[in-house]
């Protein structure tokens, strides 16, 4: 079989980024590429321990590789920790990456291209080593466009956000003028996050991205087409190839999703769901890195118990930051949970969302979770924690109308009311909208659909690069 190319994939080493990049890696592996997937030592060990990457689902052309030790840990919910991770990737990761790229030609096929969401490193590699880079942002197009618009917001004096201005509409994110409020901008635009290196990088990002070969997005035209047309007016080469988890499942004709988990999945929740009525359970998960305070925990918990609905809650071991003390769990919560709830440390989420008993998803609105919920036809209550989630949740509530946005509040009565709205009062309407959107997602990844065709175009693009690399050696 003819050699198509050797692709180096380097995700920001967090669960959400790894999930979508690994799904893309698998799709490229199915298309006969050699793929090298680079992780930190810690995420590598956890992936091998808890996922099925080592179960023979990849071809022998796929290789997991690790950065040297010293890159800051992979569980991080604060800007400081993210910045630390980012710095250690630049300091330790980049020299290693340069060496790896320089050496590959010696012992195997040279790299044809790099796929990464590490912007600064990607730019340096592209400029100094001439390796074409695909910038795979694992967030949605809408949030990416909001990030790209930050310089315009600053210039128009819409950033920093004015005192008491959180509910004012912003006018400088094209395509979102009628509904995007300051509070819906990525959390980096809030005053306490507007300093520091990550914000600076965001401000320069729109010019820098031009230096890269193309953008890849885990989204589909039926969901974000209007916003994508604004992005394409500036960056014509954008491949929308999502939802990747569904695309992979369809191409492999799998009934059950494969696992990219960095934590041990507790599958006992599936048996618990099996014993519940159809669409009766609200699934609660705040993703892999969000944290909540003890007080927020109590408010969510009371809201859930008081709603009287069945709930399945992912209580990650590090979900709660115990700043406000370890007050004992009130008896009524324990009893309410025994009667109606089930808790696990980590769930097989795609499978949970596809389960017939699940009728709603209380989510932090991470991009993977949002797409997984749409594909499964499950309406959402969004409680965004940070980053792109603030923008995603506005689109869920106001634009796609596939859920409710509970941004910036989580008192027990709001939680209870939102659950009742989602699971009772507005159930029919929201279900219809999300099921329709789920159908569009499935059409997009089916032969002839936009994401299906765009993935084929991406593959052809990489093959062409490989041919030109071979001509030059």
Q: Can you give the binding site for ligand UDP, defined by CB under 6 A?
A: 14-16, 19, 261, 285, 287-290, 314, 346-347, 349-350, 366-369, 372
C-beta of 16 vs 403, nearer to ligand UDP: 16
74 in active site: no
292-293/320-321 β-pairing: parallel
- Within 10 angstroms of residue 207's Cβ, the number of other Cβ atoms is 9
Considering the complex, what minimum distance in angstroms separates the CB of residue 75 from ligand UDP? 10
Least Cβ distance, residue 351 to ligand UDP (angstroms): 9
- Residue 405, SS3 per DSSP: strand
CB 434 → ligand UDP: shortest distance, Å?
Answer: 16
Run of H or E including 410? none
Distance in Å, CB of 247 to ligand UDP, minimum: 14
One of 42, 117, 388, 405 is an active-site residue; which one? Answer: 117
**Spatial contact of 388 and 380, defined as CB atoms under 8 Å apart:** no
Q: Report the residue number, 261 or 454, with the smaller CB distance to ligand UDP.
A: 261
Quick one: 56 exposed, middle or buried, by C-beta within 10 A (0-12, 13-18, 19+)? exposed
For 465, the token pair is: 């690069």
Q: Which is nearer to ligand UDP, 85 or 153 (CB)?
A: 85
Residue 76 C-beta: closest distance to ligand UDP, Å? 10
Block residue for tokens 């960056």: 235
User: Is residue 324 annotated as a catalytic residue, yes or no?
Assistant: no
Report the C-alpha gap between 191 and 207 in whole angstroms. 23
Nearest distance from residue 312's CB to ligand UDP, in Å?
10
| CB closer to ligand UDP out of 16 and 341 | 16
For ligand UDP, the closer of residues 14 and 153 by Cβ is 14
Write down the least CB distance from residue 431 to ligand UDP, Å. Answer: 21
103, with CB counted inside 10 A (0-12, 13-18, 19+), is exposed
- The structure tokens listed for 328 are 């004992």
Q: Which residues contact 416 (CB under 8 A, 6 or more apart)?
A: 302, 303, 304, 306, 307
CA pair distance 40, 172, nearest whole angstrom: 38
Tokens representing 174 are 């094209």
DSSP letter for 165, please. -
Contacts of 99 (CB under 8 A, 6+ apart): none
Task: Write down the catalytic residue from 6, 17, 72, 364.
Answer: 17
The dihedral sign for the CA sequence 21, 404, 415, 278:
negative
Q: Which is nearer to ligand UDP, 15 or 306 (CB)?
A: 15
CA distance 246 to 69: 34
Using the minimum distance from each CB to ligand UDP, give the nearer residue, 62 or 286: 286
The DSSP secondary structure of 335-360, one letter per residue, reads HHHHHHEEEESS--HHHHHHSTTEEE
Angle value at C-alpha 439, between 435 and 443, nearest 5 degrees = 170
CB of 162 to ligand UDP, least distance (A): 29
CB closer to ligand UDP out of 111 and 136: 136
CA atoms of 82 and 66, how far apart (whole Å): 19
Residues written for the chain = 473
Catalytic machinery residues: 17, 117
């Amino acid at each position: 079989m003819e050699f198509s190319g050797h692709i180096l994939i380097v995700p920001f080493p967090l669960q959400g980024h790894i999930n979508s990049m690994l799904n893309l890696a698998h799709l490229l592996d199915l298309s006969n590429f050699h793929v090298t997937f680079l992780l930190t030592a810690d995420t590598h060990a956890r992936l091998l321990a808890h996922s099925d990457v080592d179960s023979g689902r990849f071809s022998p052309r796929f290789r997991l590789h690790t950065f040297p030790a010293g890159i800051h840990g992979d569980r991080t919910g604060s800007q400081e920790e993210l910045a630390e991770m980012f710095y250690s990737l630049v300091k330790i990761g980049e020299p290693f990456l340069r060496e790896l790229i320089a050496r590959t030609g010696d012992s195997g096929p040279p790299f044809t291209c790099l796929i990464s969401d590490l912007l600064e490193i990607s730019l340096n590699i592209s400029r100094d080593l001439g390796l074409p880079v695909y910038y795979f942002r694992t967030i949605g197009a809408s949030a990416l466009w909001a990030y790209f618009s930050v310089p315009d917001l600053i210039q128009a004096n819409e950033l920093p956000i004015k005192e008491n201005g959180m509910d004012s509409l912003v006018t400088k994110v094209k395509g979102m003028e009628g509904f995007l409020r300051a509070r819906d901008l990525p959390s980096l635009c809030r005053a306490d996050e507007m300093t520091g290196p990550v914000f600076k990088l965001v401000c320069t990002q729109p010019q820098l991205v031009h230096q890269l070969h193309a953008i890849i997005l885990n989204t589909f035209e039926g969901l974000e087409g209007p916003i994508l047309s604004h992005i394409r007016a500036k960056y014509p080469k954008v491949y929308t190839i999502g939802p990747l988890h569904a695309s992979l499942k369809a191409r492999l004709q799998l009934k059950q999703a494969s696992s990219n988990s960095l934590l041990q999945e507790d599958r006992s929740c599936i048996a618990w769901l099996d014993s519940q009525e159809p669409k009766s359970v609200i699934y609660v998960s705040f993703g892999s890195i969000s944290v909540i305070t003890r007080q927020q925990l109590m408010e969510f918990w009371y809201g859930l118990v008081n709603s009287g609905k069945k709930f399945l809650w992912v209580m990650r071991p590090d979900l709660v930051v115990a700043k406000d003390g370890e007050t004992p769990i009130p008896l009524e919560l324990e009893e309410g949970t025994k009667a109606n709830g089930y808790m696990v440390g980590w769930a097989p989420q795609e499978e949970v969302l596809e389960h017939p008993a699940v009728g709603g998803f209380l989510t932090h609105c991470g991009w993977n979770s949002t797409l997984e919920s749409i594909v499964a036809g499950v309406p959402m209550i969004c409680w965004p924690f940070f980053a792109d989630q603030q923008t995603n949740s506005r689109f869920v509530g106001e634009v796609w109308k596939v859920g409710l946005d509970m941004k910036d509040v989580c008192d027990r009565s709001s939680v209870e009311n939102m659950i009742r709205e989602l699971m009772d009062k507005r159930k029919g309407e929201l279900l219809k909208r999300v099921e329709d959107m789920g159908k569009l997602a499935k059409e997009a990844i089916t032969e002839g659909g936009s994401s299906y065709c765009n993935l084929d175009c991406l593959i052809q693009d990489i093959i062409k690069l490989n041919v030109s690399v071979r001509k030059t050696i």
